[in-house]
Structure 1
């Protein structure tokens, strides 16, 4: 049923429907987070009880390198989700609907920044639920549902379940529309080497919406337990490659096309390889590959940019975007340019 709903309103509504529903669902989910966090901490007996229980189950979990709540891992998660949202293909496709390039810049960064406090709150709620449901007492991907059933009144549970469903639909329709748009625009049209009209491109995109939605149905029924790991890898790749490059392209005029491709390639390979090594136990439990990957991508973009000729087309776009800023001075935002 959920698959049919997502396919139908993505098929008929397109990007406008996805934008409106995503906004409504995001508001509901953020309100739900605000409600769940104090309820979960209170139900677990307070923060001191939570830390004591979790540390007993996994010593050092809240230490500098102990786990998700550790300083090193918290820093890594910050970059994963902040830069991951900035390089998220779903958000990148929405930039085309912005009123101006500057609006795309401001909203892209604002979305990343606004979500961060709520992801932090979810981390606190997750620690509380880890304390209440230790070990294998409940599936970690349905622990929030179990908590709502066990600890909230029926009317609040209904609202929270609606918010959870909204969050699921929001992610599903965004990724479905992004995949269908990319498949028709960047794959089918390039392979066919034909010039399609807007109506022809729209029809093919809608067909892909249906086909990809149906193709995802078996995964939804099977629901492999590594979906969360797959999402983390996806956001790591988006952040380590796309997110870093977007920031460079917006704030460093000297960034070149060769540097962008070099940084993108390194970021993808290093992020995927690092996550695979982490999941297979080839690296220490406290080690998160996102931090060295970000450093490596940054260095590659800077070094390659300085070693390659200035890209006139890229700098003209950069100047056009930054020109409305009265404080912008092109000569102060880049190094000496030599061709």
Structure 2
């Protein structure tokens, strides 16, 4: 499978080795300033944290703009600077199907979940996604499987983000890769342990502002670099008319349409299955502030996507026109353009934003993963940690454990990082969209349907994405070649979309076969929530 299809938000390690080391003092200045801000926010968050609730959901204290910009930034992540330009450079305007549909995903997520998740945090003691799913289905199996899926996805995301972080630290500060990994991971762990989600939310907010400002400047420089949109379009059309067509840059016309449809489904509907986004609704001050969150998140995401759109098209147009040499790898198109074709101040701002994107998103994953270990798994096993202070300390210890594990993965095995990199957006979308988004809107959903959806969704993703990679590493070439041959769709059609659609159908069918259709199995307070 094409890596970008399998895990569109994952950052792989190897291609980023081609990022040059910055030679502008502004890059070091902005990078250092960002790291100092991160540590200051962590220290401030520590002073605001008195309970596990404060640590995990900020004590329900954030407002409209912070919530919306935080939601946009954890979804955009480093993808906007690395994966986005790569896709646009490689496939032209066809790749815009991701950027057109992702803003729609915020609207769908807000409509389906914002009010229900926030009210759920009022009527029950919920701090994590698994808490909410236990309340909905009253099943420790659902709680436990949700927690396991979260931990697997978090380790995968964190390892790939740390793999990228080491090269970004090298690009900014010129340090050896190993030093960049250790220093970056230590700073990430320090501010995560100090401030929890309070620190994470505010670093997400800083990241969002930086991304928006930087994207606008880069858009202007990129269009100018390519000679204007007319010149860019002409150069691309001369090289390959498919690069500026809606569907034609990914194989045959039929395959391209199929891929675009797959992206549309995965990045619009699948947004509502991302735990690092949907749990943000627990944190809002009240229901009123949810009203404008969706359009703010959607618009800011669209603005930030100007960076990927402009750099990808402009760089490809200039390469095709023979004005510049092709980059070593399409994955570094965005960073290379910023470092080599923008002023030092802009380069510093953008690389600081890339550093922020990786670290702040990693912090969100760290928090939900640690909570799954300290809170959800023990409760699913019938051995909850009853003392709040002890639970908070165990959560912080879990943060350290997950970080150390991810660092060891990155340091010891680039092959393992690549395998984990295939577990991304589609993994969470398949595991959680049905049980969360449908489950909180349909009284007929059952615990059996939820269990089936999680297990099968994870299995389909792992079978098609991870098994071929694992087999290749183990020298089982026959298996590595056979599994992709079993995939019944064109390779450009995302595996995540297939697993998402399979789990949706399975969830509904199993629920209809096993449940009370009148909704009597739903707790009265949860049923009232679903009727709001």
Instruction: Give the structure 1 partner of residue 514 of structure 2.
Output: 308
Instruction: Give the structure 2 partner of residue 183 of structure 1.
Output: 373
Alpha-carbon shift at residue 48 of structure 1 (Å): 3.4
State how 1:223-262 maps to structure 2 within 5 Å. 224=414, 230-231=420-421, 233-262=423-452
RCO (CA 8 Å, sep 6+): is it higher in 1 or 2? 2
Alpha-carbon shift at residue 18 of structure 1 (Å): 0.8
| Native 8 Å contact 1:82 1:112 kept in 2 | no
Alpha-carbon shift at residue 70 of structure 1 (Å): 4.0
Instruction: Give the structure 2 partner of residue 32 of structure 1.
Output: 214
Instruction: Give the structure 2 partner of residue 266 of structure 1.
Output: 456
> Are residue 213 (structure 1) and residue 403 (structure 2) matched?
yes
Instruction: Give the structure 2 partner of residue 73 of structure 1.
Output: 259
Provide the C-alpha distance between the structure 1 equivalents of 2:507 and 2:525, rounded to a whole number of angstroms.
18
Deviation per CA, 1:95-116, whole angstroms, max 9, x where unpaired?
A: 443456x689879977885576
Alpha-carbon shift at residue 164 of structure 1 (Å): 1.1
Name stretches of at least 5 consecutive residues in structure 2 with no aligned partner. 1-182, 470-480
Provide the C-alpha distance between the structure 1 equivalents of 2:360 and 2:318, rounded to a whole number of angstroms.
28
Partner SS for 1:314: coil
> Are residue 2 (structure 1) and residue 184 (structure 2) matched?
yes
Partner SS for 2:423: helix
Partner SS for 2:207: helix
Deviation per CA, 1:281-334, whole angstroms, max 9, x where unpaired?
A: 53543333334333322222222222222253536355322444xxxxxxxxxx
When residues 34 and 52 of structure 1 are mapped into structure 2, their CA distance, relative to the original with a 3 A threshold, is farther
Partner SS for 2:515: coil
Partner SS for 1:66: coil
| Native 8 Å contact 2:370 2:402 kept in 1 | yes
Instruction: Give the structure 2 partner of residue 329 of structure 1.
Output: none
> Are residue 82 (structure 1) and residue 231 (structure 2) matched?
no
Provide the C-alpha distance between the structure 1 equivalents of 2:289 and 2:461, rounded to a whole number of angstroms.
26
Partner SS for 1:251: coil
Instruction: Give the structure 2 partner of residue 143 of structure 1.
Output: 333
| Native 8 Å contact 1:64 1:71 kept in 2 | no
Deviation per CA, 1:160-185, whole angstroms, max 9, x where unpaired?
A: 11211111111111111122111111
When residues 60 and 239 of structure 1 are mapped into structure 2, their CA distance, relative to the original with a 3 A threshold, is same
Provide the C-alpha distance between the structure 2 equivalents of 1:136 and 1:159, rounded to a whole number of angstroms.
24
Instruction: Give the structure 2 partner of residue 333 of structure 1.
Output: none
Instruction: Give the structure 1 partner of residue 473 of structure 2.
Output: none
When residues 103 and 88 of structure 1 are mapped into structure 2, their CA distance, relative to the original with a 3 A threshold, is farther
Alpha-carbon shift at residue 193 of structure 1 (Å): 2.5
Aligned length: 321
Provide the C-alpha distance between the structure 2 equivalents of 1:66 and 1:116, rounded to a whole number of angstroms.
28
Instruction: Judge which range, 37-46 or 196-205, deviates more.
Output: 37-46
Instruction: Give the structure 1 partner of residue 388 of structure 2.
Output: 198
| Native 8 Å contact 1:37 1:121 kept in 2 | yes
Partner SS for 2:433: helix
Partner SS for 1:30: helix
Q: TM-score scaled by structure 2?
A: 0.51
Q: TM-score scaled by structure 1?
A: 0.76
| Native 8 Å contact 2:375 2:384 kept in 1 | no
When residues 221 and 121 of structure 1 are mapped into structure 2, their CA distance, relative to the original with a 3 A threshold, is farther
Please, what is the CA RMSD of the aligned residues? 3.9
Name stretches of at least 5 consecutive residues in structure 1 with no aligned partner. 325-339
Provide the C-alpha distance between the structure 2 equivalents of 1:136 and 1:225, rounded to a whole number of angstroms.
26
When residues 312 and 295 of structure 1 are mapped into structure 2, their CA distance, relative to the original with a 3 A threshold, is same
Deviation per CA, 1:253-303, whole angstroms, max 9, x where unpaired?
A: 322222222222222222333435897653543333334333322222222
> Are residue 63 (structure 1) and residue 271 (structure 2) matched?
no
> Are residue 22 (structure 1) and residue 204 (structure 2) matched?
yes
When residues 192 and 317 of structure 1 are mapped into structure 2, their CA distance, relative to the original with a 3 A threshold, is closer
